[in-house]
Structure formats: C-alpha cells, structure tokens
Amino acid sequence: MKLRVIDWTASGAARLLDQTLLPQEVKYLQISSVDGMIEAIKSLRVRGAPLIGIAAAMGLAAAAAGRETGRSRVTQADLEWLSEEAEKMRRARPTAVNLSRAVDRMLECAQAAFVSGRSDLAKALRHEAQTIWDEDQAMCRKIGFVGSEIIQRGATVLTHCNTGRLATGGIGTALGVIYTAHEQGKIKKVFADETRPLNQGSRLTAWELTEAGVQCTVITDSMAAALMAAGSIDVVVVGADRIAANGDVANKIGTYGLAVVAKHHGVPFYAAAPTSTFDLTLETGREIPIEERAAEEVPTAEGAGVFNPAFDVTPANLITGIITDRGLVESPSEASVSKIFPTDSYPLPA
C-alpha cells in the first residue's frame, strides 16, 4: 500500500488516514490534542488493536509537543497533566489491550524523564511512541514468517475484519501471514468476510489485498459456513484484540462463530497477534471487557432495539494455534501460552 496510514507532521502532530471514508475517499487528519485522538479512536478513523496503541502514544506525544512549558526540567505538574490525559486516552476503547499497554509505556517514559531530570518531555514521549511503532512493525514481520509456515501451497484462506497495514504499524497480523505466504507464492485466494456492521472486511481488507495483488473475494459473514461445507476453505486466519492467559481470544464480533463452524468442518483455525496483545493478568477470556457500540451502527426500524457488541471471545479449545512474534502457540492453553513468556509475566515485546 502506497499510502501512509499514520505519520508525524513537521510540527510533531499525528497525521492519520481517516479509515471511515475508505475506500471511496482518501483524507488525512492532523491531530495534536488528546481529545482529537480520542475522537479518532472512538469513531474508528484509526482502528485495529496495534494501531490504536500506536495512535494513542502518538496523540500523547503530540499533545506534549503543543504544550510548551518553557521549564528547564520535567516537573511533577507535567506528570500530573500527562497522567490525566493518559487516563482519558486509556478509556477511548476498552477491548484491545494494546491501547492500555501503550498508555502505560508513555507514563513510564515520563516518569523516567522526571527522575533523570530531563528537560524535554515531548521529545522523550515522541521517542517512546516511535519505539512502540517500530516494535510493532518488527513483530508483524516475525508473525508473517511464523504464520507462513502453516500455509500450504495453493491455499484458500478465510479471514475476518481487517488486520493488515490499516490495523498495525507494519504489514499486519493475520494479513501479515497472508502477505508473507503470498510472497512465497503459496496463496491461491483469500475470502474476506464483510464484517458487519462496519464492513472492515469489504471496505478495508478487500482494498488492501487487491492493491497488494492478492486475489480477494468478499463474502457476507453468513456465507462462511456454506463455503466450508463445500470444502472451499483450507484455513482460517484472524487477528486478536486481547488474549487471556489460557489462550482465549477476543476479536471482532463474528470470530467466535467462525471458529465454531471451522471446528465442525475440520478446518484449521488460527489467530495471529503480537505479544503486546496478550494480557496475562486475565485468567480466561470471560474477564475481557467487550466494547458495546452505538445502536446507530445497525440500521433498523424505529422503535426496535439493537445489541451491538464490537467483539466476541473465542475459547482456546476451538483454536488450532496462535501465531505470534515469538513462535506458534499450538493448541493454546495456560501451559502453551506461558512457554512464550518464560520470564515476563507482564509481556512486553522482545
């Protein structure tokens, strides 16, 4: 994809591609305030678990750059300001743990700048935000290599939502696997679920894959079972927003249904995610907070109720493996997940 999804401006603001308008319109937003970034995250102008972490970090750095204090060193007042802004940012969306983790890293960075008597908080925060982005880019590449091993030559892959360059700081997670396998000449075709109600599959994944020369066919979410029954899908690869210690995976609503159907038809089902998406403080997926979005996203008759959860949880026993930057977690369980976190209980990228 030739377009930059996220970037810095010369003045230290964040520049975002507005994903709500894609693929019809390419428009960039310049964001220099925390409230501006919260609005962009809540309204899905920027989206995808890893990318909202990066965007949140950039939003905090941009806000600090615009708040020239003229003081010679980072003060307690600076820390208090950042802490208030960071807590607002953390609440923008609840499910993807990458957001909260990025906010924590920005707070830790500011604390370190305070303790070491640094004068340039904005510079330190920008460096940390860029590091979060760079690490994600590297993790995507590793996920791509690890995941390409499970793709057979001539494979037809089904994916859900959008997990590529529009959702991460790099080539993507599930789409990173697909791009890497495509470069190896292994991909015959990708089916992309439409992904109701906001159509991240039909708008974003179809656009990304087609631009990259990967043959992509969009189906509505309810067609996946029929395709599997017809033997048309070799493997399902999806992303993740938060993974509990036992390997339960929260991802875009509809993922759980796909996993049930895949199990029924004997189709291997993989989730792909960086280590920053694991939350080992949660024993099972039942503890993962699930975002409920506005009723307006689901058009219906006046007076009818709408239930609109943005994510669901797929139990580990339906998942063939989790593809991570630290290797493949086969038959996810507390024991197999803990193997990729030998020392750190609070996982940070290697």
Q: Annotated active-site positions, please?
A: 241
Tell me the closest approach of the beta carbon of residue 218 to ligand MRU, in angstroms: 16
User: Which residues from 177-196 bind ligand MRU, rule CB under 6 A?
Assistant: none
Q: How far is CA 227 from the centre of its chain?
A: 27
Which of 200, 246, 275, 324 is in the footprint of ligand MRU by CB under 6 A? 200
CA 197/CA 265 separation, integer angstroms: 26
Question: Closer to ligand MRU at the Cβ: 240 or 316?
Answer: 240
For ligand MRU, what does the binding mask look like between residues 60 and 99, x meaning CB under 6 A?
A: ------------------------------------x---
Instruction: Calculate Rg over the CA atoms of the chain.
Output: 20
Using the contact rule CB under 6 A, the part of the chain among 31-39, 118-126, 177-185, 239-247 near ligand MRU is 239-247
Q: Counting beta carbons within 10 angstroms of the beta carbon of residue 52, is it exposed (0 to 12), middle (13 to 18) or buried (19 or more)?
A: buried
161 binds ligand MRU (CB under 6 A): yes
Could you give the angle at which helices 97-115 and 121-148 cross, rounded to 10 degrees?
140
Which of 45, 47, 90, 326 is in the footprint of ligand MRU by CB under 6 A? 47
Q: Decide: helix, strand or coil at residue 223.
A: helix
Question: Closer to ligand MRU at the Cβ: 150 or 272?
Answer: 272
What are the residues facing 324 on neighbouring strands?
Answer: 327
> Which backbone phi and psi does 209 adopt, to 5 degrees?
-65, -40
Spatial contact of 175 and 163, defined as CB atoms under 8 Å apart: yes
Q: Decide: helix, strand or coil at residue 320.
A: coil
Which of 128, 135, 208, 241 is in the footprint of ligand MRU by CB under 6 A? 241
Spatial contact of 237 and 267, defined as CB atoms under 8 Å apart: no
239 binds ligand MRU (CB under 6 A): yes
Contact positions vs ligand MRU (CB under 6 A): 44, 47-50, 96, 161, 163, 167-168, 172-173, 200, 239-241, 251-252, 310
